[in-house]
Amino acid sequence: MKPSDIENYFSRPLMLPILIGASLLFIVLFFVSVTTPKELPPLPPAPAKVTLFSPTGGVTELGKAFEKVIEEFRAKDRLAPGMRVAIVKNGKIDLLKGYGLCEAGGSDTVDIHTVFRLASLSKGFTALLAAKLVEEGKFDFDDKVTDYLPHVKLSNLEYTNQLTIRHLLSHTTGLPRHTFGNLIEAEVPFEQMVQQLRTVPLTGPPGRLFAYQNVSFSLVGDICETVTGKSYSELLDEYIFRPFEMNNSSSTFSGIVMNPNVAEPHGYTSKKTIKMDPEYFAVAPAAGVNASITDMSKYMMALLGHEPGLISQEALTEMFTPNIPLNQDNRYSITWKKLRKAEYGLGWRVFDYDGTEILHHSGFVNGYRAEIALCPELDLGISVLTNSFNDFSNRCIPKFFDLVMEQKEEQQ
């Protein structure tokens, strides 16, 4: 239509009243809309503090089993302020579930990327790193410690010369239980603690008795650094975190304090936060890894053999083969009611639980509690991360496996 046609169209006699009427109608509708209150649409419901993932779109049988455990402790008001749970089954995530807050009294809820300290679950990472370096020919588990760290000496020269990397990873050094734990908490530099090992009376020769350690265990990190020329933190990034796509993981104090999505640590009462403390990062190979529950789900699936390109079966066998009974140091029969035998491999406890092998470790440091357990026979893994120490974190996994075993018996 040409401009002249438009002009002729609006100059027709009948069009003028129509245009005036349309304009008046528009004006009336406009004033009605601005002067009459509109009913606002309902607000969306507030997001729940519990998030749930299941590949089936609902709660699985394993999820229901864990729900029973949760409700038992909720009734007793014994849950942590914040908690994340991951269950993996048959190479898939069966459940990612979260409860609570990053900080008691706050509003930020924990999510699948919220970072917790793993404490002694770190020992499994160190054992895995060592296994990878063994496969590369950097050293052997039965090599002498002094071949790589000649400055390390025990109070007995003969026992010093017998000490191997396997002894470090299996807590069979001959040192008394928790040697220099007091110095770790006093933040004495790691090198000074190592120098003082020569002053500690031994309980026997290496390999004879299990006695849990953090200082001597962390010497494995020094050996890894010696043979590669890289720091322990760099090695974890290179060999584990990046290949496994554990994108929220780190192994330094700065790695957790600089992260904006962190579950704050709480004291025993779980009511107040406590100071984020660098203690035990001096023994990072024993207690320094930080991770989210998403990271832990990937880690567990790899440990159950679903990432053969990242972890060989030979490495898994080496880590999970028992080296020593837990003997008098075993406190786990208190919570693992059906425990028949408890032993230690390399960085992992190995349980015979009512005839089923379960690989387990727990950790507690600076107001964080972490748990992990794997059952290769059932292709099942569970990890629980909490930001306080409480009854739940200590007992939830044994109770979960009791329910799993009951389900297994019912299906047979």
Inform me whether the pLDDT recorded for 242 exceeds 50. Answer: yes
Inform me whether the pLDDT recorded for 215 exceeds 70. Answer: yes
pLDDT value, residue 390: 72
Average pLDDT over residues 25-54: 36
Express each pLDDT in 315-361 by its tens digit. Answer: 999 999 999 999 755 677 678 889 999 999 999 999 999 999 999 99
Higher pLDDT, 40 or 15: 15
294 contact partners, CB below 8 Å, separation of at least 6: 86, 96, 112, 113, 247, 248
Express each pLDDT in 61-75 by its tens digit. Answer: 777 777 777 777 665
pLDDT band at 206 (very low <50, low <70, confident <90, very high): very high
pLDDT value, residue 53: 35
Domains of the chain: 53-132+220-411 (3.40.710.10)
Percent of the chain at pLDDT exceeding 90: 58
Nearest to 115 by CA among 386, 412, 375, 299: 386
Nearest to 92 by CA among 297, 257, 284, 315: 297
pLDDT value, residue 210: 95
Inform me whether the pLDDT recorded for 57 exceeds 50. Answer: no
Inform me whether the pLDDT recorded for 78 exceeds 60. Answer: no
Average pLDDT over residues 244-253: 96
Inform me whether the pLDDT recorded for 270 exceeds 60. Answer: no
Integer Cα distance of 164 and 190 in angstroms? 20
Share of the chain residues as helix, strand and coil, in percent rounded to the nearest 5: 40, 15, 40
pLDDT band at 54 (very low <50, low <70, confident <90, very high): very low
pLDDT value, residue 223: 98
Instruction: Find out whether 126 and 286 touch, Cβ atoms under 8 Å.
Output: yes
Average pLDDT over residues 292-315: 96
Inform me whether the pLDDT recorded for 3 exceeds 50. Answer: no
pLDDT value, residue 18: 40
pLDDT value, residue 345: 98
Integer Cα distance of 91 and 313 in angstroms? 15
Percent of the chain at pLDDT exceeding 70: 76
Name the least confident of 76-85, 134-143, 368-377: 76-85
Average pLDDT over residues 241-269: 87
**Model pTM score:** 0.82
Integer Cα distance of 382 and 94 in angstroms? 10
pLDDT value, residue 79: 54
Instruction: Find out whether 385 and 248 touch, Cβ atoms under 8 Å.
Output: no
Inform me whether the pLDDT recorded for 42 exceeds 80. Answer: no
Q: SS3 of 137, please?
A: coil
pLDDT value, residue 27: 42
pLDDT band at 91 (very low <50, low <70, confident <90, very high): very high
pLDDT value, residue 49: 31
